[in-house]
Amino acid sequence: MRTINITNQNQRDAQVCMESTRTTSQLRRVLETGQVTISIKVLKQNLALAFDTLSTAYPDLTAMAQAIIDADPEIDMELIGKHIGKTHKLYLNQDNQIAYRVNMVQIVKDRTGQEIQRRDLTKAPSNVTGDSIVVWSGRKYPKAQAIRRFVFTRKVQIKHVSGLTYDFLHAIAKDLHDTDSLMLIGGGKKGTEPLVMTQGGEPYRGFLEGRVDNDKYCLILHLTNLEVKAIA
């Protein structure tokens, strides 16, 4: 379980836990006989049968098409359709050899899709753990307004780790529950910088939602990198 340093409305901070919860679908796909279906991975093609390899053997596309009709050089009957298990991603160079040192670059394009800049891809460090503190910005959004303005793509649950942090988080949840609002939180001194949850991860804006039922509470951090805007 990962930790997060977070402040409250009084700018007091505490280190608590955050956890992503996944819900499994209750729907099942079955055959006409009632047998449950399962998903498997099969091999579709290998490098020796790829178009680039065939282009070397058949520079003329007409000749390649005729060879495919006559002899099926793009199919290996021993391999194609074979069940495969866990896989790993590998990067290849121009000679289709494994590249052991890869420099990632970021390509910036204009609205027409033309490349205008190319720069080294820098991985921003996480700013929710360690010495970094997620700041309570003081900007509240009514829930009815927030759900129509932002597209929330992720959410994590904030949990206490002790009796003191229980009181700390319960008070935050109660404040948000009573005002029926979401609180914008972020990095930096004023809480206006986006949150980076992992090393090199996507920057998000974070909104806290609190729910309280007597001594029980639920504190949810909603994350978004999309804002809904009206079409001009």
> Domains of the chain by range and CATH?
2-21+125-227 (2.40.290.10), 44-80 (no CATH)
**Mean pLDDT computed over 24-30:** 81
Q: Which of 27-31, 154-158, 215-219 has the least mean pLDDT? A: 27-31
231: confidence class by pLDDT, cuts 50, 70, 90: low
Burial 100-134 (b: 16+ CB within 10 A, else e): eeeeeeeeeeeeeeeeeeeeeeeeeebbbbeebbb
pLDDT of 208 higher than 90: yes
Burial class of residue 15 in the structure, from the number of CB atoms within 10 Å of its CB (0-12 exposed, 13-18 middle, 19+ buried): middle
Q: Can you read off the two tokens belonging to residue 59?
A: 């520079």
Report which secondary-structure segment, H or E, holds 146: helix 143-149
pLDDT in tens, 81-108: 889 888 888 888 888 888 888 788 888 8
pLDDT of 119 higher than 90: no
190: confidence class by pLDDT, cuts 50, 70, 90: confident
- Global confidence as pTM: 0.66
pLDDT of 175 higher than 80: yes
How high is the pLDDT of residue 232?
59
Distances (CA, A) of 180 to 11, 66, 156: 21, 68, 19
